[in-house]
Every structure is written in structure tokens, then in C-alpha cells.
């Protein structure tokens, strides 16, 4: 059996002397109640047994006297020491003579080293530093700081906790016990109670919403313990709230402040409120359904809890709430908090996440990383780990893909997917003739010209712009709208001069002028036999 340290044993005896119950001592010292009971019973048993030299020979019923029992004066029976005393079994501390000075120094916050130095310097203390340190440790173990009672302004705070509801008899005859949510406004002690089957985040949120509607407003802060439905990582200084709970608080304009882990007195008002609801409203009651229990709790809050004279404030709860606290609550938003589901998701190598057998794209930089998905009946919202939105999709059926074109990596995006306008703009950037050739080519060839445009941009990467511009000008002049025409023109040496047949020139006369000079040629032109001459005719001289 593990032996408790001396200072812990002394603390148990001291707290018991102050009237603390065994349950309260065990909770405060973080011990088992059986351990506390064993040490208290052992202390009482030792107090009832006469110690060496403590008995009076005349009053003793024993036939054999103990050593020194006749000569020693009678002493007081052993009792549980008081908080200011550290005397007990064993040798008396050399510091007992200076106990008052040491206690006063401790109250001012001095350390054991400083107390020892002051005792040696000012009071000629003959003992050692270790003696002072042991004495200070014992005093610290039995010196209790009083709890600080905190009262808040109207509308400033609500404390929230769960307890056990009353039994619900199900249709098959089996009993099931729900959870009891209790929300208490810290100023007026106005409460709201609701029984629910689970402590999930969604049910917890709906219960808080019902409480806000019951109060007709929203308190500025919510004090909760570190339940999983609200807190994902408990930390007194920097706790992590459930993302859904964080959004809920933002929607209602309030702030959630979890208590210190394993410190229930930080929300003592609701702790007492849960016990009050359990003992006064639900104890020894049975209900046929969860809704029946909630209807009973609603009527109990109105007729009993609100009309009572509170034991601490000595005022009627409902009256204080109506006069001072309800006007100070924050206004309710226009809509309820939207119902949605959320969960972390891993981004696959193809840039999609899977959500209920459907697939949704995310930006390429999140491939292989974890994101946070939030979905409702029609929309899917995707966030990064800082809860910043990175994607928005419409809900799809299982097996379908939802792709945002901006989520495609530039190296994996085909140039044709960018569209006709993008390709023509790229061609115009090369030069005036290249852009004109591209526009004329697509106007003549239609959709099949998209690949020609892609090839044109490829030629721009291999040939100088000036050469491509010259080739495009020639191809446009001759109506060559195939990519091979551009390639042939680009393959020609740059000093080759292309001679074209001219249709108009100052030296070229109009055909009417030649008709006036040679009318017979033009008159017989339509009567000429279009058939080619035979071989005999062609050989005539």
C-alpha cells in the first residue's frame, strides 16, 4: 500500500478539523475517498490510545504500569491539529518559537530563503535553512486561501454544464437516461434546462440556441468546461475550440471561454444549478418520452425556478432577470445558425477530396495536405487549417466530380482549354500580320482551326518574330490558311523576292480599251468552239 507524504496526511487532518467532508477533502487533494477515510479513522484511533507517559496511574485500569506512567504528569489526549499548528508526532520543530513571524512572512509572499535570512539577521535564529524550509512546506500545506466569489454585470455571462436527466421509459419497456443541459445566467441565476440523448456538437449547439430563444437574447460570454462537443484541445491559456462552435459564437456575437481543466468551481453557479434541477425537478420522476421531459422542464423553469428566492442573492430569480438582465442581453440574429456537417479531409494526388462518394477540387498547392470540409444540403465549403476559405462547390451526387478551372495547375492545363479568345490574343501579341492571319484562318476553317492556332504559337517559339510576321503577311496575301503554308514560307531564305502577278498597274490598260482596238477578237470569242483541235488540225501549216 502506498504511503502518503507527511504534508498530505497533515492536510487531511487539518481540513477535517475545519469541518470539511471526506468527499470535499478527496476532491481538493485529488485523493480517493477511501484513502481519506482510512487516514481519518487511523488518526481518531491513535487519539483514543494512551501514548507513552500520557496516562495517569490512578485512572488506569491496566494491571501493569508502563515506564514513566507514574512520574509523568497527565497530558491532553491527541487531537487533530489546527491550521496554524504543525506540531504532531515526532520531534518538535525548532521553528515553533518563530511560527508567528514565519506565517506573517508567508502571507506577504516571501520565500523560505528570504524568511531564513531575515530570521538569522533580525531574530538570531539558531536553526538551519532546511529546518525553515520544512516548516514553511508544512505551513503551506495547511494554509488555505479563501475562494474569491465573482459576481458579474447583467448580461455579461452564462455558465453551461451537463448533468443526468430523469429516466425515460421507452415503448419496449427499457429505461434510458438522457443528458441534462443546464444554462444559467450568472447575474440573475435565470436558467434553461433541456434533456438530450447525446452530447454531440450539433445537439449542443441546438440546445444553446433554444436557451438563447428562451432568454430572448445572447449573453456576452459563455463559460463551459472542456467537453468534446465544444473544445477540441483543452488549455487554460490557449484552448482550441471546435471549428463549428467557433462559427456558432461568431454567428451570435458571443465568446466561449472554457474553464481550467479539472477546476469545476470556475463555473460554480451552474454546478449548483444542475444539482438544483436534478434534485428539485427530476429526482424520482419517470417520463414516457424525451419531449415529455422537456415540456415538464419548461414548465418547472417558469413556475418553480423563476419564482424562487435565490439563496445567495436573496432576490426572486425571474424578477431580477426581467428587470435588469434581459435588457442587457445581446440581440438575437435574424436567422438561426445554419445546420451543416464538417470533417477533415485529405487531398488526393489528383487534387480532389472525397466527400460522401463525390469528389471536389481544391487548389493545387494543397495536394497531399489535410483540409477542412463543411457541407450542407446544397453547398460544399472547403477551408485550410487556418479556417480560411479555399474552395466552394455545389453538392454533387455520388460518383460525380466538381472541378473549378482555376484549381488546375498551369503545367496540367491544356492550351486549348483556355479558349479561342486566349489563343487569338496570343497570336495578336506576336505581331499585326500574325494576328490578322490567325483571325482570317479561323474565320475560314472554324473549330478545326483551334489546333492550327496552337501550332502557330509553337512556331513563334522556334522562329524570330520578324520572320514569322513576313511569312504571315505573304500567306495572308495569297490566302494560304494552312500551317504548312507558313512552314514553307519560313523555310525560304530571307533574301528571296516573291514575284506576284499584278492585276492593276498604271501601264496595264483596261480590257475595254483592247476591245475597242480589236473588236473582232472579242466579238467572235463567244462563238469559238470550246473543243480542243484534233491532231490533224493541229498539224496544218
Tell me the CA distances in angstroms from 6 to 11, 100, 142, 381, 448, one per residue in order: 9, 22, 12, 59, 94
Return the pLDDT at 187. Answer: 94
Q: Which domains does the chain have, with CATH numbers?
A: 6-60+68-142 (no CATH), 157-328 (3.30.420.10), 341-412 (2.40.50), 415-491 (no CATH)
What tens digit of pLDDT does each residue of 485-536 get?
888 888 887 665 555 555 666 666 776 776 777 776 666 555 545 555 554 5
pLDDT of the residue at 312: 86
User: What grid cell was written down for 252?
Assistant: 451570435
Whether 327 has a pLDDT exceeding 80, the answer reads: yes
**Better-predicted residue by pLDDT, 6 or 365:** 365
413: region left, alpha or beta (phi > 0 left; psi from -120 to 50 alpha): beta
Q: Specify the pLDDT at position 525.
A: 54
Per-residue pLDDT of 257-270, as tens digits, reads 999 888 888 888 99
Query: Is residue 45 scored above 50 in pLDDT?
Result: yes
Q: How confident is the model at residue 282 (pLDDT cuts 50, 70, 90)?
A: very high
What DSSP string runs through 170-201? Answer: -TTS-EE--EEEEEEETTT--EEEEEES---H
pLDDT in the model for residue 46:
66
Question: Of 249, 247, 197, which Cα lies nearest the Cα of 224?
Answer: 249
Minimum mean pLDDT range among 309-318, 440-449, 476-485, 497-506: 497-506
Using DSSP's 3-state secondary structure scheme, residue 63 falls into coil
Chain-centroid distance of CA 3 in Å reads 44
Work out the average pLDDT over 335-340.
86
Between 135 and 67, the higher pLDDT residue: 135
Q: In this structure, what are the phi and psi dihedrals at residue 347, rounded to the nearest 5 degrees?
A: -85, 125
HEC per residue, 506-532 = CCCCCHHHHHHHCHHHHHCCCCCCCCC
Express each pLDDT in 191-215 by its tens digit. 999 999 999 998 999 999 999 999 9
Is 389 a residue whose pLDDT tops 50?
Answer: yes
pTM for the full predicted model: 0.51
Closest CA to 430 of 382, 473, 376, 466: 466
Average pLDDT, the chain: 82
pLDDT for 29 equals 84
Q: Is the pLDDT of residue 48 over 80?
A: no
Residue 429 has pLDDT above 70, yes or no: yes
Say if residues 56 and 62 touch (Cβ distance below 8 Å). no
Please report which confidence band the pLDDT of residue 165 belongs to, taking 50, 70 and 90 as the band edges: very high
Amino acid at each position: 500500500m502506498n504511503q502518503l507524504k507527511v504534508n498530505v496526511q497533515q492536510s487531511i487532518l487539518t481540513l477535517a478539523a475545519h469541518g470539511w467532508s471526506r468527499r470535499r477533502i478527496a476532491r481538493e487533494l485529488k485523493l480517493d475517498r477511501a484513502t481519506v477515510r482510512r487516514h481519518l479513522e487511523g488518526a481518531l484511533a491513535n487519539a483514543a490510545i494512551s501514548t507513552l507517559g500520557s496516562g495517569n496511574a490512578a485512572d488506569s485500569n491496566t494491571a501493569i504500569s508502563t515506564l514513566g506512567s507514574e512520574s509523568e504528569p497527565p497530558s491532553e489526549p491527541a487531537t487533530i491539529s489546527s491550521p496554524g499548528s504543525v506540531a504532531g508526532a515526532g520531534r518538535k520543530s525548532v521553528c515553533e518559537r518563530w511560527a508567528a513571524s514565519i506565517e506573517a512572512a508567508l502571507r506577504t509572499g516571501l520565500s523560505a530563503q528570504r524568511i531564513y535570512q531575515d530570521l538569522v539577521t533580525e531574530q538570531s535564529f539558531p536553526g538551519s535553512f532546511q529546518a525553515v524550509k520544512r516548516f514553511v512546506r508544512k505551513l503551506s500545506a495547511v494554509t488555505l486561501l479563501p475562494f474569491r466569489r465573482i459576481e458579474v454585470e447583467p448580461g455579461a455571462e452564462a455558465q453551461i454544464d451537463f448533468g443526468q436527466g430523469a429516466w425515460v421509459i421507452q415503448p419496449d419497456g427499457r429505461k434510458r437516461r438522457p443528458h441534462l443541459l443546464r444554462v444559467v445566467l450568472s447575474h440573475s441565476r435565470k436558467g434553461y434546462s433541456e434533456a438530450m440523448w447525446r452530447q454531440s456538437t450539433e445537439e449542443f449547439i441546438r440546445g444553446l440556441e433554444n436557451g438563447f430563444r428562451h432568454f430572448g437574447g445572447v449573453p456576452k460570454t459563455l463559460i463551459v468546461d472542456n467537453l468534446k462537443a465544444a473544445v477540441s484541445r483543452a488549455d487554460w491559456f490557449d484552448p482550441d475550440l471546435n471549428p463549428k462552435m467557433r462559427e456558432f459564437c461568431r454567428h451570435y456575437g458571443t465568446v466561449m471561454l472554457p474553464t481550467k481543466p479539472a477546476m469545476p468551481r470556475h463555473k460554480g453557479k451552474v454546478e449548483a444549478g444542475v444539482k438544483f434541477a436534478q434534485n428539485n425537478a427530476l429526482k424520482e420522476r419517470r417520463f414516457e418520452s424525451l419531449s415529455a421531459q422537456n415540456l415538464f422542464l419548461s414548465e418547472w423553469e417558469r413556475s418553480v425556478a423563476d419564482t424562487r428566492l435565490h439563496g445567495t442573492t436573496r432576490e426572486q430569480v425571474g424578477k431580477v432577470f426581467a428587470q435588469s438582465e434581459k435588457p442587457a442581453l445581446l440581440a438575437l440574429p435574424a436567422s438561426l445558425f445554419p445546420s451543416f456537417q464538417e470533417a477533415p479531409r485529405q487531398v488526393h494526388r489528383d487534387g480532389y477530396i472525397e466527400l460522401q462518394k463525390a469528389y471536389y477540387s481544391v487548389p493545387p498547392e494543397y495536394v497531399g495536405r489535410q483540409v477542412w470540409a463543411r457541407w450542407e444540403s446544397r453547398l460544399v465549403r472547403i477551408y485550410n487549417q487556418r479556417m480560411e476559405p479555399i474552395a466552394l462547390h455545389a453538392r454533387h451526387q455520388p460518383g460525380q466530380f466538381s472541378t473549378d478551372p482555376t484549381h488546375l495547375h498551369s503545367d496540367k492545363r491544356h492550351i486549348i482549354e483556355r479558349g479561342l479568345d486566349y489563343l487569338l490574343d496570343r497570336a495578336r501579341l506576336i505581331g499585326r500580320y500574325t494576328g490578322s492571319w490567325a483571325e482570317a484562318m479561323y474565320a475560314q476553317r472554324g473549330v478545326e482551326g483551334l489546333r492550327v492556332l496552337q501550332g502557330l504559337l509553337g512556331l513563334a517559339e522556334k522562329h524570330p518574330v520578324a520572320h514569322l510576321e513576313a511569312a504571315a503577311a505573304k500567306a495572308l496575301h495569297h490566302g494560304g490558311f494552312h500551317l504548312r503554308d507558313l512552314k514553307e514560307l519560313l523555310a525560304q531564305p530571307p533574301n528571296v523576292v516573291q514575284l506576284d502577278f499584278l492585276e492593276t498597274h498604271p501601264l496595264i490598260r483596261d480590257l475595254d480599251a483592247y476591245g475597242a482596238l480589236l473588236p473582232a477578237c472579242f466579238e467572235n470569242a463567244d462563238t469559238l468552239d470550246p473543243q480542243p483541235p484534233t491532231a490533224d488540225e493541229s498539224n496544218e501549216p
